């Protein structure tokens, strides 16, 4: 459904992505792991043109798009077929929870306001935020804001949702509610997702495919069981050790 | 010293006739300068705008670095001749000297307000941050919609207190129009007081009138701020 080939991205002289290939099929939950600075987030942002890649092609459905010279219509097409959940939620602060969901439907997808409202209500219900639909983001907790962020992402019925470290900015206590919703989306709705995260438990239990990135390349990819039990690459082993067993240190 | 209360009363009513002129200059200046200043602020917020940024920072420094009265005198002595030259070249059926001085005043104040407000809006846009703009794009909004629906309303409410100060400053600065014989509040009273030399009474009256107008403006902005408060993230 979505295939990226040879994605390169420079920030100044730093090469952040060095020719990344990625294939996502419908119903996949692809989890991208890797140390910070490895290019995970940049890769995700290149998919919906929040960053413009310097090289690479994207095949989305039956369209082939050159990432560097994407036309306006192609950018609009991809943005319509995808949605993005941000690390810092990035809710519209001047809009209520419901308006946050309907804004993109009305002004991005040209859906009539009334219909958009119905879709918005359903989306908020799915993330358990219907009782907060008239609240402004400033009146919501981080976890609640991110749930609205997810409602905004699912409302447009995208082919794939891109999650950029959706729980990294949350208090530990609030991580569960957000991960729970993501699990539900994957299991019940079969939503296709690409998730950049540090939540190993989510990767282990929900992912259909795990990708490990380091310094701008994909070092290793595979099914979660294979990946976590028999990592092939030394760098992957080192990374998994440091993340999975960090609590075992005795000082 | 004894104040001539009779004259104060009559000059008060005389000065009231200047209020519409003062307000007209203020409102027209704002209508011209707010959209332009906002557009400049948006343009400067984009990446890779080195030449544009340099150009505008020179403009802003030039405006900031000169007294408004000097700007008035320069433009008022220069512009009519310039216009006349252009009109004669193009042989337009138009008399430069028929232009009301009010329009020169509006032009001059817009010139400095654009410089000032573009800096204010730049700060406002920065306060909103890039994240919501990206979220709007990701949700399918066009860049224009993202600004009009999401970014601009928040940028405006963030700068409301500063905007209030600048509107009040503009109202007070408009008094300098007496230098080019515009019949606004100050100009009217200056002429009236020079007839019987009761300057103190006249100036006290207009001081009071400016205070009242500016308080009314402040009140309007307080109401606006309260309306906008709900949007703002509580710190």
How large is the ipTM? 0.90
**Letter string b/e over residues B164-180, b meaning 16 or more CB atoms within 10 A of that residue's CB:** bebbbebbebbbbbbbb
- CA distance to B58, B125, B147, per residue, from B161 (Å): 26, 15, 21
From B155, which residue of chain A is nearest by alpha-carbon distance?
Answer: A94
Nearest Cα to Cα of residue A217 among A204, A230, A233 = A233
Taking the C-alpha atoms of residue A52 and residue A42, their distance in angstroms, rounded to an integer, is 10
pLDDT band at residue A247, thresholds of 50, 70 and 90? Answer: low
pTM to 2 decimal places:
0.84
Give contacts of B232 with chain A, Cβ < 8 Å.
Answer: 93, 138
Give contacts of A95 with chain B, Cβ < 8 Å.
Answer: 150
- Are B135 and A94 a contacting pair at CB < 8 A? no
Question: Is 70 exceeded by the pLDDT of residue A84?
Answer: yes
CB A134 within 8 A of CB A100: no
Q: Does A83 touch chain B (CB under 8 A)?
A: yes
- Can you give the pLDDT at residue A249? 54
Give contacts of B134 with chain A, Cβ < 8 Å.
Answer: 50, 84, 86, 90
Taking the C-alpha atoms of residue A167 and residue A177, their distance in angstroms, rounded to an integer, is 10
Task: Give the whole-number percent of chain B exceeding pLDDT 90.
Answer: 48
pLDDT tens by residue, A100-137: 999 999 999 999 999 999 999 999 999 999 999 999 99
- Can you give the pLDDT at residue B231? 64
CA distance A106 to chain B (A): 9
Q: Greater confidence, B235 or A206?
A: A206
Give contacts of A46 with chain B, Cβ < 8 Å.
Answer: none
pLDDT band at residue B234, thresholds of 50, 70 and 90? Answer: very low
Taking the C-alpha atoms of residue A32 and residue A37, their distance in angstroms, rounded to an integer, is 13
Nearest Cβ partner for B131 among A86, A104, A107: A86
Residues pairing with A2 in the sheet: A24, A60
- Are A107 and B231 a contacting pair at CB < 8 A? no
Residue B84, CA atoms < 13 Å, CB-side half-sphere: 11
- Can you give the pLDDT at residue B209? 93
Question: Is 70 exceeded by the pLDDT of residue B122?
Answer: yes
Nearest Cβ partner for B139 among A49, A103, A138: A103
- Can you give the pLDDT at residue B218? 95
- Can you give the pLDDT at residue A56? 94
- Can you give the pLDDT at residue A44? 95
Nearest Cα to Cα of residue B128 among B204, B12, B38 = B38
Question: Is 50 exceeded by the pLDDT of residue B235?
Answer: no
pLDDT tens by residue, B57-75: 899 899 989 999 999 999 8
Task: DSSP for A190-228, please give it.
Answer: ---EEEE---HHHHHHH-SEEEEEETTEEEEEE-HHHHH
Mean pLDDT within A204-233: 91
Give me the residues of A, 170-229, that contact B with CB < 8 A.
Answer: none
Taking the C-alpha atoms of residue B76 and residue B180, their distance in angstroms, rounded to an integer, is 8
Nearest Cα to Cα of residue B147 among A146, A138, A92 = A92
Domain B5-234: homologous superfamily in CATH: MetI-like (1.10.3720.10)
3-class secondary-structure state, position A82: strand
Residue B46, CA atoms < 13 Å, CB-side half-sphere: 12
pLDDT band at residue B81, thresholds of 50, 70 and 90? Answer: confident
Question: Is 60 exceeded by the pLDDT of residue B226?
Answer: yes
- Can you give the pLDDT at residue B164? 95
* Mean pLDDT, all residues of chain B: 88
Which of these ranges, A6-20, A237-251, B182-196, has the smallest mean pLDDT? A237-251
pLDDT tens by residue, B132-187: 999 999 999 999 999 999 999 999 999 999 999 999 999 999 999 888 888 888 88
Taking the C-alpha atoms of residue B35 and residue A79, their distance in angstroms, rounded to an integer, is 30
**Strand A82-85, strand A209-214: pairing:** unpaired
Tell me the domain boundaries of chain B: 5-234
- Can you give the pLDDT at residue B229? 74
From B135, which residue of chain A is nearest by alpha-carbon distance?
Answer: A90
Task: Give the whole-number percent of chain A exceeding pLDDT 90.
Answer: 77
CA distance A43 to chain B (A): 15
- Can you give the pLDDT at residue B230? 63
Give contacts of A93 with chain B, Cβ < 8 Å.
Answer: 128, 132, 154, 231-233
Kind and range of the H or E run holding B58: helix B50-64
Q: Does A107 touch chain B (CB under 8 A)?
A: yes
3-class secondary-structure state, position A49: coil
CA distance B104 to chain A (A): 39
* Mean pLDDT, all residues of chain A: 91
Which of B47, B129, B137, B138 would best serve as a mutation to test chain A binding (most A beta carbons within 10 A)? B138
- Can you give the pLDDT at residue B100? 85
- CA distance to A93, A97, A149, A180, per residue, from A144 (Å): 14, 10, 9, 13
Nearest Cβ partner for A90 among B132, B140, B234: B132
Give me the residues of A, 133-162, that contact B with CB < 8 A.
Answer: 136-138, 152, 156
Nearest Cα to Cα of residue B95 among B109, B83, B107 = B83
pLDDT tens by residue, A148-177: 999 999 999 999 999 999 999 888 888 999
Take residue A35 and report the two structure tokens written for it: 């140390």
Which of these ranges, A113-122, A188-197, B79-88, B147-156, has the smallest mean pLDDT? B79-88
């Amino acid at each position: 459904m979505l295939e990226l080939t040879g994605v390169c991205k420079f920030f100044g002289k730093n090469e952040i992505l060095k020719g990344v290939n990625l294939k996502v099929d419908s119903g996949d939950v692809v989890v991208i792991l890797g140390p910070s600075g490895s290019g995970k987030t940049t890769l995700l942002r290149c998919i919906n043109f929040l960053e413009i890649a310097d090289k690479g092609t994207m095949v989305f459905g039956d369209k082939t798009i050159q990432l560097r010279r994407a036309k306006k219509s192609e950018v609009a097409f991809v943005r319509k077929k995808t949605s993005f959940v941000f690390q810092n939620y990035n809710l519209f602060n001047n809009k209520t929870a419901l308006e946050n969901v309907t804004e993109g439907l009305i002004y991005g997808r040209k859906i009539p306001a009334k219909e958009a409202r119905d879709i918005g209500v359903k989306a908020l219900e799915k993330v358990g935020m219907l009782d907060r639909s008239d609240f402004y983001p400033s009146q919501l907790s981080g976890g609640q804001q991110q749930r609205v962020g997810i409602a905004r992402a699912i409302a447009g019925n995208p082919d794939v949702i891109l999650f950029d470290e959706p729980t990294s900015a949350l208090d530990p206590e609030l991580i569960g509610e957000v991960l729970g919703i993501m699990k539900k989306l994957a299991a019940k709705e079969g939503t296709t997702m690409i998730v950049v995260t540090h939540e190993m438990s989510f990767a282990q239990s929900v992912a259909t495919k795990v990708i490990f990135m380091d310094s701008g390349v994909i070092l290793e990819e595979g099914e979660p069981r294979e990946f976590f039990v028999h990592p092939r690459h030394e760098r992957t082993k080192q990374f998994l050790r440091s993340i999975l067993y960090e609590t075992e240190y005795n000082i | 010293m004894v104040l001539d209360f009779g004259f104060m009363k009559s000059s008060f009513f005389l000065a009231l006739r200047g209020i519409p002129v003062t307000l007209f200059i203020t409102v027209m200046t704002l209508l011209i300068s707010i959209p332009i200043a906002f557009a400049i602020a948006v343009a400067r917020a984009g990446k890779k705008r080195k030449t544009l940024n340099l150009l505008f920072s020179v403009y802003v420094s030039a405006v900031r670095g000169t007294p408004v009265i000097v700007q008035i005198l320069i433009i008022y002595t220069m512009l009519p001749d310039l216009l006349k030259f252009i009109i004669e070249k193009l042989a337009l059926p138009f008399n430069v000297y028929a232009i009301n001085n009010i329009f020169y005043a509006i032009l001059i104040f817009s010139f400095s307000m654009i410089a000032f407000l573009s800096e204010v809006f730049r700060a406002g846009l920065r306060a909103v941050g890039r994240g919501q703009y990206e979220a709007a794009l990701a949700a399918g909004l066009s860049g224009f919609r993202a600004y009009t629906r999401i970014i601009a309303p928040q940028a405006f409410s963030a700068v409301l207190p500063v905007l209030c100060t600048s509107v009040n400053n503009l109202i007070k600065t408009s008094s300098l129009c007496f230098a080019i014989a515009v019949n606004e509040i100050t100009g009217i009273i200056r002429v009236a007081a020079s007839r019987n030399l009761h300057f103190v009474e006249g100036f006290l009256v207009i001081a009071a009138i400016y205070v009242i107008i500016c308080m009314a403006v402040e009140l309007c902005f307080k109401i606006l701020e309260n309306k906008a408060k709900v949007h703002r993230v509580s710190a």
